[in-house]
């Protein structure tokens, strides 16, 4: 029978996330996390198994938080406005995410995934792949709402709106908190959707 947990795993993930964004991924060691939380090395290893799993779970939690928020923004827009505004809401998700989860945002947006994640345990790698798949499914869903199409060309336009434009307008120039940049982004997304995908 496994020993009962005497700590909240989110406390450990919070500490790992904070260390990664403030000091870089190399600073995330079991000893550093233990010092930050007051939880023993052994308890951390008992919960996470290895440093690689701890880093992977930290990244995975941030990615799921982002995807949950983005999906909720889409659902709200679909329920109250129209399909175009659902894509606009999804495109603005990085800015909303940075307001609500600053450290998770910095982890996902400022630290390269490859820099953080090395050799992952199989289970964590599978969960990350599933999370990536959920984002693709969301893009396909938006494409079908707009154009009744889920083919590569149509989804590529949604990818431009949800990935390329937010990266160029908000992230590369660190404008997540700039309201004018967000207006530029909204206008750019609407313009791209007006043109739409090739036949």
Closest CA to 75 of 133, 145, 131: 145
| pLDDT (0 to 100) of residue 110 | 65
| pLDDT (0 to 100) of residue 1 | 40
Reply yes or no on whether the pLDDT at 2 is more than 50: no
Reply yes or no on whether the pLDDT at 7 is more than 90: no
CA dihedral 67, 73, 75, 76 (to 10 degrees): 160
pLDDT category at 156 given cuts 50, 70, 90 is very high
Among 5-14, 31-40, 81-90, the least confident range: 5-14
Q: How far apart are CA 82 and CA 80, in angstroms?
A: 7
Please provide the distance, in angstroms rounded to a whole number, between the alpha carbons at the two ends of the chain. 59
| pLDDT (0 to 100) of residue 49 | 86
| pLDDT (0 to 100) of residue 116 | 65
Instruction: Name the residue with higher pLDDT: 154 or 1.
Output: 154
Reply yes or no on whether the pLDDT at 75 is more than 50: yes
| pLDDT (0 to 100) of residue 3 | 45
DSSP string, 34-73: HHHH---HHHHHHHHSSHHHHHHHHHHHHHHHHHHHHHHH
Contact between 186 and 88 under an 8 Å Cβ cutoff? The reply is: yes
pTM score: 0.88
- Mean pLDDT computed over 151-170: 97
The top-scoring range by mean pLDDT among 47-51, 79-83, 181-185 is 181-185
Q: How far apart are CA 185 and CA 92, in angstroms?
A: 8
Reply yes or no on whether the pLDDT at 197 is more than 70: yes
- Helix (H) or strand (E) segment spanning residue 113: helix 113-116
Q: How far apart are CA 184 and CA 74, in angstroms?
A: 19
78-130 pLDDT, tens per residue?
988 889 999 999 999 999 999 999 999 999 876 777 766 667 788 888 888 89
């Amino acid at each position: 029978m496994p020993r009962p947990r005497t700590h909240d795993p989110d406390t450990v993930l919070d500490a790992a996330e904070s260390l990664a964004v403030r000091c870089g991924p190399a600073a995330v060691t079991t000893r550093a996390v233990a010092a930050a939380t007051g939880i023993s090395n052994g308890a951390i290893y008992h919960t996470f198994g290895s440093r690689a799993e701890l880093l992977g779970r930290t990244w995975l939690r941030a990615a799921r938080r982002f995807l949950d928020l983005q999906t909720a923004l889409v659902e709200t827009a679909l329920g109250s406005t129209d399909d175009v505004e659902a894509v606009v809401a999804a495109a603005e998700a990085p800015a909303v995410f940075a307001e609500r989860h600053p450290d998770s945002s910095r982890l996902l947006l400022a630290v390269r995934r490859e820099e953080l994640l090395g050799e992952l345990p199989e289970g964590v790698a599978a969960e990350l792949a599933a999370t990536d798949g959920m984002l693709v499914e969301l893009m396909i869903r938006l494409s079908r709402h707009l154009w009744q199409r889920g083919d590569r060309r149509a989804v590529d336009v949604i990818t431009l709106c949800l990935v390329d434009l937010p990266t160029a307008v908000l992230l590369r120039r660190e404008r997540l908190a700039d309201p004018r940049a967000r207006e530029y982004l909204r206008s750019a997304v609407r313009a791209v959707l007006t043109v739409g995908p090739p036949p």
